[in-house]
Structures are given as C-alpha cells and as structure tokens.
Amino acid sequence: MASDLQDGNSRRRSLVRSFFLLSILVLTGLGSGCVTSRVNLPVELPVQKPLTSADLVTRINSLQEITQIKSSVSLQFADYKESGLGKGKVYPTAEGKLVLQRPQNIRLIVDATLIGRIADMGSDGERFAVAVFYPTDKRSFIRGSNNRQYASETEKLVNDPSAKDVSTFSKLRPQHLALPLLVPPIPVNHAEYSSFVIESRQDEADLVRKSDGSLSMEVPAKRVMRTYYVLYVTHRLPDGRMVPSHCYWFDRTRPGTPFVRLQLFEENGTLNTEAEYDGFSGPNGQPQPMPRSVKISRPHDGYALRVVYRQAEVNSEQMTADVFTVQNDENLHVLDLDAQANQVRAKASEN
C-alpha cells in the first residue's frame, strides 16, 4: 500500500515537472516572437513508375534509328556575350533549311525576311565552314577543323571592335550543333565507357503547355519540385583516368518519362554544351522519334540557338558528301583558322 502511494506521488511530481518545463518553453517561444506561419513552397509533382538504367540506355540508343533528317526550321539566336553583366541580346526569329546525317554531318542555311540569306554553314564530320553574309560589311568565310580548338582566334573575333556585329555569330560552329541535334548513342559493353543513374530534384518554374504540347510564355508559371533521372556516361582515358562524357536527363514527372536534356563535357569536367528538348513524348507519354524543338546553349562561347522543326523528313533519301560542303562562291573574305593557329604556334616556338 505504501509502495503504491509512493509510486503515485512520483508520477504526480514527474507530471508537474513536465508541465512546468512545457510552460517555460511556450512562454519563452511566445516572448521571442517564435510563432508558426504559412509559407509558399514549390508544389511537389508526382513521379511516373520507376525505370531501370537499362531502360534509359535503350531509350537513347533507339534514337539512332534516325540516320538523317531534312527539315525546314525556325531559328532564334541569343547572344549571351555580356551575361556577366546581366545583359543579353535575342535576335528576331529567322527561317532556315537543315540537313543532318549521322554521325555528325550537318548543313544549315539561315534566311531572314527582308534581309535574305544570313549564313550558310556545314561540316562533313572532319572539317567545317561558315559563310557569313549579313551584316553586309562583315561578310566572311570561316573554315577550320572539327577536332581543333581555336581559343586565340576566337578571342580576336570577340575583342576586335570592327567585328562586334558578327563576332558572336562567327563563333557558331556547325559541328557544335550536329552533336545535340543527332543525339549521341551510349556505348554498351564497352570497356572504356561506363554509365550510372542518379535521381535529382529541381525547384523550377512550371510553364503551361498549349493544346499542341508547346510551351506557353504568356501564362505566369508556378514553382514546382520536379524529379529527374540523370544518366551519366564516363570515358576512360589512355592514362586510366575516368572523365565525364555525356549526361542525359529524363523528366520523371511527365507521362512517359521523356528525355529532356543533354549535357556534353570536356575532359576536365567543363560543361561545353547543353541542349534542352521539347516533344520527345506525346501528350499521353508515347515516345516520339524526334523532338519539336531543341535549345542549344554554348555557355563559354556566349550564345544559345533554339531550333524548331517544320515539316521534317526522316531517312527519306541517300545524301552525297557534297551536301555538307559549303563553297565560297561569292569570294568572301577568308578566315582560315587552321592557318592562323599554325602561325601562332610557329611564332611561339621561335620564342
């Protein structure tokens, strides 16, 4: 009996202490202004059913069935040369004709209403040429090799005041467009390549889609939390180091988990190209062999180009090599990047 009374008194003392401590915490919180309030958070979007790494690799490699494309296109060029100052320049939409052939052949002719032909560029996978026709006082013919870097020559174009109207456009290389437009395959069972998948969540603006599936820029976007599969591909160098190669993004929050983004890296990990795709899946998630549009960004070259396909023909006819060769028929001023680079190296070796 005495034991029961002691236990009861102990429990009461414990309750009193707990109540006393709780009262102090509440009063302290109220006194310091610590009160709960509602905040706006990004809407968490539900995800589609899981896919395996093999599923994603198969999805990308199935795109290799398209070996060539011929299409009218709409093009919008953006100059990000002054992005460090928070400034940019978006040019009016132009029309063009685009021809693509795997692995990396490309020909792109750009025209503008009232102006006519702006540029003609092409690459056969080894060499490239860019004929610039507008502005008329900056007409030039630029040529070089796909596998060479021309940092110093590009820097001259950027810093030359007399070339300011054409410098950024002159940096546009057709081979830089061919790779994201012809999505590269993922090597399978290759000793020098490996791949792995992670999941990434991104706080984004959710743009409204029109009835045709295209994005609307007129309706204000809400903030959403979107989930992606990110498929990394790495490449082993001769010295044994593993370096990043490609990165493929799949949107888990949209029907069909479509492929939406491609990132291409230099051996040192620098992001040299990023492409965003719209339309690789239909409204109900059914896979599509081609996107409606591709936005290609070259952050270190200071530009982005959006390509919208119009009336595309796929695998329609065999193309000859001359389709991808640009001739200097109008005797434009020639800028031979290989010759300039060789001169720079020769002078450096003399010193």
Collapsing DSSP to helix, strand or coil, 113 comes out as: coil
pLDDT for 351: 63
pLDDT at 135 over 90: no
* Closest among 201, 251, 249, 198 to 223, alpha carbons compared: 201
**Which range (145-149, 190-194, 266-270, 271-275) has the least confidence?**
145-149
Residue 212 has pLDDT above 70, yes or no: no
pLDDT in tens, 166-191: 445 567 899 999 999 999 999 999 99
Of 11-15, 64-68, 84-88, 308-312, minimum mean pLDDT range: 11-15
> What token pair was written down for 169?
């456009």
Report the mean per-residue pLDDT for the chain. 84
**pLDDT classification of 39: cutoffs 50, 70, 90:** confident
Greater model confidence, 29 or 35: 35
- Residues 326, 144 contacting (CB under 8 angstroms): no
The pLDDT, as a whole number, for residue 14 is: 59
Query: How much is the average pLDDT of 34-39?
Result: 79
Q: Tokens 């610590």 belong to which residue?
A: 34
pTM: 0.81
Model pLDDT, residue 301:
87
Phi, psi of 157 (to 5 degrees): -65, -40
Query: Is it the case that residue 75 has pLDDT exceeding 90?
Result: yes
Token pair of 138, please?
A: 């900056």
For residue 307, which phi and psi values (nearest 5 degrees)? -115, 120
User: For residue 280, what are its two tokens?
Assistant: 């690789």
> Which amino acid is present at 325?
T
